[in-house]
A and B are shown apart, each in its own frame.
Chain A
Amino acid sequence: MRLLSWPSITQLLLAPLAVASASDYNDYSENLLLKSLPGNSILASFRFVSNGTFDSHHSVFPRSLAQILQQSQTKELHLKFTLGRWDAEQWGRQVWDGRTAGGTGVELWAWVEAADDSEADARWTTLNNALSGLFCASLNFIDSTRTIRPVMSFQPAGHHSPERLERLHLLHGTLPREPVCTENLTPFLKLLPCKGKAGISSLLDGHRLFDAQWQSMSIDVKPVCEESGKCQLQMEQTVDMVLDVERSLGKKDSPVPKPPPIEQLSCDQEKPYAGGDSCFPLSGVTDLPWSLSEMFGRPVRGSCPLAVVPTEEATHVCVNIAEKRSIFVSQGSEERKRSPELRCFTLHENLDFDIVLPELSPSTNLLLTPPPVYASRSLTGHGQERGGIQAVLNNPSSNSTVEFVYLESLPWFMKPYLHTLSATISGKDDGNIIQDIYYRPALDRKRGTQLEVRLRVPPGETVLLNYEFDKAVLRYTEYPPDANRGFDIAPAIISILDSSSQKSTFSIRTTSLLLSLPTPDFSMPYNVIILTSTVMALAFGSIFNILVRRFVGADEVIGGSLVSKIRGHVMAFVAKKRRAGGDKPKTE
């Protein structure tokens, strides 16, 4: 009797909670996409979506973030932490249409509700400072010099009422120099309902994530409204990374990366060699075998119990590999085949999940879809006085013209000359490439430059976008401690526009640039003050010396006037003192 009553009581106690939670559980889903890329790389794309409201007490939507959004009146938030470069030539199009990837470093943009610009700025500062604390990132350094208000590049992704849209201010800030690291991952995982302990998020480990060739963590919060008018906040967290299989597997044997011995290298035998110690390594001959636990250091620790019950549509893990390649999964999971190249699995709540892919030779790659635009940007010119920027924008399509907005956010100490801006196709400008320009010049120490150019590139053509700039010399206190390393310039953002709606459908970031500025000598402020002051004193002294004194012939001055004069004055003074002393009446 006693033995039986305990579970029943527990069940009774937990029953209402279970009912309440059941509806909330539907508000969280997670899935992982693994895609093989050429060159023995794997794209791992984690996606966690949670819905909730500000005032709900048992919601999966993180309360810490909700309070920040409420305090700063932020209606839509996009925060990206990115490292590395997405190699579009090799890996093709980015996942999620590039929506989740940011530029190198940290990128943040938000729609803040405010009556005017100054109020929006104040709320933006509040938001930055709060997020800075939440994510252990230097977001508080996004000040007015790093903030821009893009006009053409971004559109709100959430549902906003028309009257609210009028009061929303878009602000955008970047920190290209921010090193994204483990301390940003930990708070990121804490926002998840399972906190990285169970479900696919248990794979996320700082050692593996930040060892990737390219990785991006992103948080997008937006309001989502149903037909009935009921609105919720939706937070989408994603982690995308490109892992090098060879490098990850090598870690198993030796934690410190080192080149393999020559006996283990597969050399290109078709090339002539001068000696036995040289080798042209062959790569991508075979698809190397890998498993989840080898790539991430551990298997998936069951499914997250708070996540939505998987359905035919929503599964936990999907693998996108060549049809030829075989795949083995651990027990307890359920396979749902969608297409020959996409195999999806649902996880068991209490069982570890692992995937093993054996070696395949010769290597077979998936067919890559090219991105809408290939973009690269570089600095031109030499010296530390001035320079130029050249962006190479190529439209790979053979039949459709692509239209996009090219956005640059430059620091104030880089002074672009807009009159030198040119867009050419093989050296010629037919006047039809640049459609529109929005330009807001920099103000010294107050704000940076914002340049948005809407361009149209005909099929198969390459546009060269060029402009010149001057480099400013800063005050010596404005240089960072490692001044000669250079200054990071934020990546350019390319938003591909839909030809009919003129809305951004795809976004691409270029790499960040390293700009070297002229530097003063940091060791000698005192010397400079002294030397310059000496020259000024010399001018003042010599000119006034000539102005206030009068000329006398050298032979008219007898016995060196100055010495005799001084002597005369001293003698007169002494004599006067003596006389005064002698005359003083002696009083006792």
Chain B
Amino acid sequence: MSIDESTAAKVAKLARIKVEEDALPALAQEFNAVLGFIEQLNEVDVEGVEPMVSVTPMRLKRREDVVNDGDQQEKVLSNAPDAREGFFTVPKVVD
């Protein structure tokens, strides 16, 4: 399986990382190196083997479904690059 430039561009788009046109060939090459390494997994017989979900088999703890946190608007916004009037601010999303 070989990754071409258009696939690399598509992956960058999915990952929401801007990659300039002229950087795509090198990126595709790096993907191919990593994927070539991963291909070794095809040698393993995994017939009937369950994919691991949790490395430590344990039942998740249950708790009462009650509000135990909150009312910290100022703290939540304190690290925002742009916060106004108690809200996060982003570029226009809907026309």
- Determine if chain A interacts with chain B: no
Residues of B whose CB lies within 8 Å of any CB of A are: none
